[in-house]
Structure 1
Amino acid sequence: MAQISGEVLGDERGTLLAFVESQRAAIREAAAGLTEEQAASRPSASELSLSGLLKHVAEVELAWLRMAQQRPNESARTQEDYAEAFRLVGDETIASVQIFWDGVSAELTAFVAELPSLDETFPLPPAPWFPENAKVSMRWMLLHLIEEFARHAGHADVIRESLDGTKAMG
């Protein structure tokens, strides 16, 4: 459920950002208190781990932000290193990924806050899963991030419960 506080604007922009943050928080909370080893484990039938999900959603958020800004994505993946988007490599840690994601989240929130309108659009890159020459609105992007994060928050809940029985809702 989206967190409601005195700082959340009651307009559409504030509401969408609150739901984005609520889903971010659900993913972060699923990994809270785990060791690096626990967070990297894959206790379910899935190939996903909690640390891998944290990294993936941070990189996905950055990718959508850069598309909306129409800037190059400094963290873009090639087909050869795509699997590394779902696991920590080198000196990456849960803490370093969360710091990275916090920066991306703050940048996205500031970008959205400064938009003249959520009706502003940007082109989608050529990809087999996007229609040719398609554009989407900033509103669409925020709704897509809510959908993406909610899907992965569900994955994170299953993984955490498989690890130690911790349940997101009680």
Structure 2
Amino acid sequence: MNATTDPATTGSPAVTGERAELISALDKHRALLLQTAESLTESQARTASTVSALTIASLLKHVADTEEQWFRFAVEGAVAFEGGHGSEVDWNAIAAEDAWADVDWEDTRFVLAEHETLPHLRARVDQVAARTEEVLRTADLDSAHELPAAPWFEPGASWSVRRVAIHMLAEISQHAGHADIVREAIDGAKTMG
């Protein structure tokens, strides 16, 4: 998706200003992430080539899932996090008791299912990007929702649609950097260097 899309060919009005900048920046960093997967085999895309467990494929999955959830939050509020990753854990009790070592919870956000092939993951990133662009084209950027209870969020804090977009820009950029390192360790290819 491109913020300078011609409305005559897409049926959507062109966006300008802050909205266009947010959409364009997200597109650019998603493209850098997707570029790390170019010309890889399925095996290479699932290779943890560094001391980390991260793979190119798992990063694509995580970014798509995370972006989808955060932009659902931007529109619907904290309900977007119900039943999702970590929702079964009482984070407030753990934080209050300083019982982090006792948490019986596994982070499965980067675990790939058999059907999550590179074509599937690329299509998913594009599908989520289209929904994000739709939200950024139409939503009130100042509209805000209270964040769900979690030890990493300030109690009672709210995030606007704009803040969600900025958060996702940071998230995508960070993971594009991770993917670049993973890719370089696979075959020496560099996306950003």
TM-score scaled by length of structure 1: 0.87
Amino acid at match of 1:32: E
In the TM superposition, residue 101 of structure 1 has moved relative to its aligned partner by: 2.1
In the TM superposition, residue 77 of structure 1 has moved relative to its aligned partner by: 2.6
**Please, which of 83, 99, 123 is the counterpart of residue 99 of structure 1?**
123
Q: Structure 1 regions of 5+ residues with no counterpart?
A: none
Q: Output the CA distance in 2 between the equivalents of 1:169 and 1:75.
A: 36
**Please, which of 142, 152, 164 is the counterpart of residue 119 of structure 1?**
142
Contact 2:3–2:24 (CA under 8 A) maintained in structure 1: no
In the TM superposition, residue 104 of structure 1 has moved relative to its aligned partner by: 1.4
Q: 1:48 to 1:16 in 2, by over 3 A?
A: same
Output aligned runs, 1:71-110, within 5 Å: 71-72=79-80, 76-78=84-86, 82-83=107-108, 85-110=109-134
Contact 1:58–1:101 (CA under 8 A) maintained in structure 2: yes
Secondary structure at the counterpart of residue 159 of structure 2 = strand
Q: 1:107 to 1:75 in 2, by over 3 A?
A: farther
**Please, which of 47, 70, 74 is the counterpart of residue 41 of structure 1?**
47
Q: Which residue of 2 aligns with 1:24?
A: 30
Structure having the higher Rg: 2
Q: Which residue of 2 aligns with 1:168?
A: 191
In the TM superposition, residue 6 of structure 1 has moved relative to its aligned partner by: 4.5
How many residue pairs were aligned? 166
In the TM superposition, residue 86 of structure 1 has moved relative to its aligned partner by: 0.9
RMSD of aligned residue pairs (Cα, Å): 2.3
Q: Output the CA distance in 2 between the equivalents of 1:113 and 1:97.
A: 24
**2:143 paired with 1:143:** no
